[in-house]
Amino acid sequence: MAESRLACRECHHINHGDAQACDNCGSSSLTEDWAGYVVITHPERSEIAEEMNVAEPGGYALKVR
């Protein structure tokens, strides 16, 4: 069985299921209720990263509830 992942409600970064705070922004507002997944490798050249206000490479949820 795959480990659940938690999305940050603040920056949408995907974190390990046992995280207490977001690895990207430090927020403790994490949720299992998210949809869509995008991997951003070069945020400085990505239109999606610009739309999502993403500055760091990594996996991000497209929709977080």
Can you list the domains of the chain with their CATH numbers? 5-64 (2.20.28.90)
Give pTM, 2 decimals: 0.91
10 is in an annotated binding site: no
Q: Which two tokens stand for residue 37?
A: 């997944």
Task: Please write the tens of the pLDDT for every residue from 49-64.
Answer: 999 999 999 999 999 9
Task: Please write the tens of the pLDDT for every residue from 26-49.
Answer: 999 999 999 999 999 999 999 999
Q: Which two tokens stand for residue 7?
A: 């999305």
Res 2 pLDDT > 90: no
| Nearby residues of 5 by Cβ (< 8 Å), 6 or more positions away | 14, 15, 16, 17, 32
60 is in an annotated binding site: no
**Dihedral-angle region of residue 7 (phi above 0 means left; psi in -120 to 50 means alpha; beta otherwise):** beta
62 is in an annotated binding site: no
1 is in an annotated binding site: no
Task: Please write the tens of the pLDDT for every residue from 6-16.
Answer: 999 999 999 99
First to last CA, the chain: 24
